[in-house]
Chains A and B, each alone.
Chain A
Amino acid sequence: MKQFLFLAVLFFGMSFSGTKPMGYGVGDQAADFKLKNVDGKMVSLSDFKDAKGYIVVFTCNHCPYAMKYEDRIIALNAKYAPLGYPVIAINPNDPISNPDDNFDAMKERVKEKSISYPYLVDSGSIYAQYGATRTPHVFLLDKAKVVQYIGAIDDNAMEPSSVKAKFLEEAIADLQAGRKVKVATTKAVGCSIKAKA
């Protein structure tokens, strides 16, 4: 009986892990990429020679959650890029099924919001490699491009003034202090990524 239970646990454990999306966990080495920015130039993580870390955000134009966070992402880059933690935004949505997320719309948004960080087209399914499932979805990498934090920017999408925990900023503070990131994964509601099939 014990053995049967063990096998049952093993079996269910496996079937559950089988349904989990692939992608990075904390501690995994993240791959670099080369994706087209809104200005037409290609951007890679390795372009940021002096980076101490990277704030990789999968986001898009049309998702209400992404829109709620847009100003906060801009503020994060303004605060942390000079400290060596640049924001690199990647739009993984299929521009055909989501015209609001096409290249022209991305350019438009960057202009409208005076966005200074790269806003890249995910032509290489980098979102799948990273394991991003929704927008916005943040991956904080350290200098060696090891994933140190995955999740939300903070704990209140709707109301920036009601935020109690700034998850991402706390994770960056841990990296800056050379500590292990205390809260290394968080969950958030977001729009599912609608990539090309």
Chain B
Amino acid sequence: MLFCTLFLKAQENVVVFAKYDDMSRQFLKNNDTLYVVNFWATWCKPCVAELPFFLEAEQFYKSEKVKFLLVSLDFSDQLEKRVEPFIAKNNIKSTCFLLADQDANGWIPKVDADWSGAIPASAIFKNGKKVHFTEGNFESTSDLKKLINNHL
């Protein structure tokens, strides 16, 4: 039964993290892969508007050492009601996390000291270090690609 639930979760592709530090291990790695981490939520209009840029860029960099991680900040009780249906409906195949760490005052500064906590926000990590942070949305896929190219 448990196995079955886990399997279904994997199918839906949303991994829930209760602690930021457990999640950040997924992108703070000592390798030369670029991790593009986008913080979003289903209720956040500008986040939803820029998601297609990330999906397009992910396709574009498919054969490169670039990984995209979509981190939903929806409340965890919305996982089955909103997040998973949204991901299914929009046919999102990216790696999706839901960060349920309520100690925002503790984890937000770990992403970036200047981040106010407003979303959307995006960060790029390489070799276990943050190389870029954006608070606010991207205007286009090419804006995002330009930024990624700077760090490839």
List residues of chain A with CB under 8 Å of any chain B CB.
Answer: 16, 19-21, 63-64, 68, 97-98, 133-134, 137, 151-152, 155-159, 162, 165, 167, 186-194
Could you tell me if A192 and B136 are in contact, using CB atoms closer than 8 angstroms? Answer: yes
Give chain A residues whose Cβ lies under 8 Å from the Cβ of B41. 64
Give chain B residues whose Cβ lies under 8 Å from the Cβ of A157. 75, 102, 104
Could you tell me if A19 and B114 are in contact, using CB atoms closer than 8 angstroms? Answer: yes
Give chain B residues whose Cβ lies under 8 Å from the Cβ of A16. 114
Apart from the given pairs A156-B102, A167-B105, A190-B119, 12 other A-B contacts in the complex at a CB distance below 8 Å = A64-B75, A134-B118, A152-B104, A155-B103, A155-B105, A187-B104, A187-B108, A187-B116, A189-B119, A191-B118, A192-B46, A192-B136
Q: Write out, one digit per residue, whether chain B residues 113-150 have a CB within 8 A of any chain A CB (1) or not (0).
A: 01111111000000000000001100000000000000
List residues of chain B with CB under 8 Å of any chain A CB.
Answer: 41, 43-46, 73-77, 100, 102-106, 108-109, 114-120, 135-136
Give chain A residues whose Cβ lies under 8 Å from the Cβ of B136. 192
> Which residue of A97, A152, A192 is within 8 Å of B105 (Cβ)?
A152
Q: Is the interface of A mostly helix, strand, loop or mixed?
A: loop
List 28 contacting pairs A-B, 8 Å CB cutoff, sorted by A.
A21-B116, A63-B43, A64-B74, A64-B75, A68-B75, A98-B45, A133-B118, A137-B116, A152-B104, A155-B105, A157-B75, A158-B100, A158-B102, A167-B105, A187-B105, A187-B108, A187-B109, A188-B104, A189-B104, A189-B108, A189-B117, A189-B118, A190-B117, A192-B46, A192-B118, A192-B120, A192-B136, A194-B45
Give chain B residues whose Cβ lies under 8 Å from the Cβ of A159. 102
Give chain A residues whose Cβ lies under 8 Å from the Cβ of B43. 63-64, 191
Q: Compute how far the CA of A155 lies from the CA of B107 in the bound complex, rounded to whole angstroms.
A: 11
Min CB distance B110 to A, Å, is 10
Give chain B residues whose Cβ lies under 8 Å from the Cβ of A158. 75-77, 100, 102
> Which residue of B76, B77, B103, B119 is within 8 Å of A192 (Cβ)?
B119
| Residue of chain A at shortest CB distance from B82 | A64
Give chain B residues whose Cβ lies under 8 Å from the Cβ of A187. 104-105, 108-109, 115-117
Q: Compute how far the CA of A194 lies from the CA of B48 in the bound complex, rounded to whole angstroms.
A: 14
| Residue of chain B at shortest CB distance from A164 | B103
Min CB distance B68 to A, Å, is 21
> Which residue of A133, A155, A192, A193 is within 8 Å of B104 (Cβ)?
A155
Q: Compute how far the CA of A167 lies from the CA of B104 in the bound complex, rounded to whole angstroms.
A: 12
Q: Compute how far the CA of A98 lies from the CA of B46 in the bound complex, rounded to whole angstroms.
A: 12
Give the top 7 A-B pairs by smallest Cβ distance, nearest first. A134-B118, A192-B118, A187-B108, A133-B116, A186-B105, A156-B102, A133-B118
Give chain A residues whose Cβ lies under 8 Å from the Cβ of B114. 16, 19-20
Could you tell me if A189 and B73 are in contact, using CB atoms closer than 8 angstroms? Answer: yes
